[in-house]
Amino acid sequence: MTESTIKVALLGAGTVGSQVARILTEDRDELAQRIGGTPELIGIAVRSVDTPRDYKAADALYTTDAESLIDRADVVIELTGGLEPAKTRILHALAAVKHVVSGNKALIAAHGAELMTAARQSGAQFSFEAAVAGAIPILRPLRDSLAGDHITRVLGIMNGTTNFMLDAMDARGADFDEVLAEAQRLGYAEADPTADVEGHDAAAKAAIVASLAFHSEFHIDDVHCTGISDITADDVTAAANDGYVIKLLSVCERDGEGVNIRVNPALIPRSHPLASVHDAYNAVFVESRDAGELMFYGPGAGGAPTASAVMGDFVSLARRSVLGGPGVPDYSYLGLAATSLSNVVSRYTVGLEVRDQLGVLAKIANVFAEHGVSIETMHQAKHREREDTAGDHATIRIVTHKTSNEDLRSTIAELTSLPTVYNVTSVIQVEG
């Protein structure tokens, strides 16, 4: 890198890439002041030069030849997404001591350690703040601001689409299909909403957060993941009646000698700070030995907000490079293992549809007791669809005291086998 000019190759010109191109172009002089060297956008690698873009840079900048663009750059900003060719291109850039900024959560959740190692070996810097929770500064605080502390737990709402959906269900009593259609209409959810709704997007982010928070190497496969597609309007209403709200939570916490990482719908008390995260916003709640409780809140997606995180990484690494000095150090020296769900201790709410006859309630309570699961509250109601009939259905909603996931699972398995239990309608964790 020369002292006066920092040549930037931008890979990708989608929603975020277009905004990064805009900022690099329009704010060039101010960025130069902040960095101590002038950033020069030397090219934008795209699949098709003719695609309409949110921001149109000079025509001559667009190219389909990413490899030669990388070879001419000092810094590569990778915003293409997906595993390949992004991984090969980043490894190629790092090996040639070109600093890299990436927002590619899927790639970093799958191969983050390998990319970090490649950066360390070559002396290039590699930053990826935009990969988790859009504009929210969370990775740098974990790697840098909290580097002298001991993080014990990270609890977050890391997917805006599902938060929008659950928030709408909570606010209006709307059902799942209605809010999913609304999320798709507003452009939050894709036509195929699987990655958001089934928790895969949040799981990738949780793996990255856990790696940084606990100085170890975790991948998306280490995350126990359950999405929100089974959450019904009845679950949301029942939670509200008990003073809770359902959120899709990402939880990363120390578990003995390892770390438990999970994404699942959970009830949280309305008084918890995460309960007040509405619409498509994200928030990450960090608990640490010395700092105590910290919450980071903001837009978790969108072109300009995510570009803000990309630009923060860019300015930071460009400034460090101009001034000299090492990048942020490696994160996996502790080498902790990911742990299973069995020992996770939590409260749960269990919804049951049962035969309404003498002794059924006692039998159900007994199953919980036999498995060592203590009941905190129990509500029984007539089954809604059958109120006007003589019907023999009742719905029961049980909230347990703290219990291990293993005991809860064996309880559910036995309940499911009872002829008087027609259906286990929901099993949701209660957090906080």
Catalytic residues: 205
Q: Which is nearer to ligand HSE, 69 or 139 (CB)?
A: 139
Q: How far apart are CA 124 and CA 78, in angstroms?
A: 15
The footprint of ligand HSE (CB under 6 A) covers 159-161, 188, 196, 201, 300-301
Largest CA distance in the chain: 84
Q: Where are the beta strands (DSSP E) in 202-257?
A: 224-225, 244-255
**Helix, strand, or coil here: 324?**
coil
**Cα dihedral 195, 200, 204, 209 in deg (nearest 10):** 120
Residue where the block lists tokens 């659950």: 166
Q: Which is nearer to ligand HSE, 37 or 134 (CB)?
A: 134
Structure tokens at 271: 């008084």
Other Cβ atoms closer than 10 A to 98: 22
Burial class (CB in 10 A: 0-12, 13-18, 19+), 82: exposed
Q: Which is nearer to ligand HSE, 265 or 351 (CB)?
A: 265
Q: Which is nearer to ligand HSE, 159 or 346 (CB)?
A: 159
Give the shortest CB-241-to-ligand HSE separation in angstroms: 28
Residue where the block lists tokens 């810097």: 125
> How far are the Cα atoms of 22, 42, 66, 169 from residue 58, in angstroms, in the given order?
11, 10, 17, 45
Beta bridge mates, 379: 397
Q: Which is nearer to ligand HSE, 74 or 196 (CB)?
A: 196
**CA 273, 274, 276, 282 torsion: positive or negative?**
positive
Q: How far apart are CA 163 and CA 168, in angstroms?
A: 8
The backbone torsions φ and ψ at residue 245, rounded to the nearest 5 degrees and listed phi first, read -130, 145
Give the shortest CB-181-to-ligand HSE separation in angstroms: 16
Q: Which is nearer to ligand HSE, 295 or 323 (CB)?
A: 295
> How far are the Cα atoms of 245, 265, 404, 424 from residue 269, in angstroms, in the given order?
6, 13, 20, 23
Give the shortest CB-114-to-ligand HSE separation in angstroms: 22
Helix (H) or strand (E) holding 30: helix 28-35
Give the shortest CB-250-to-ligand HSE separation in angstroms: 11
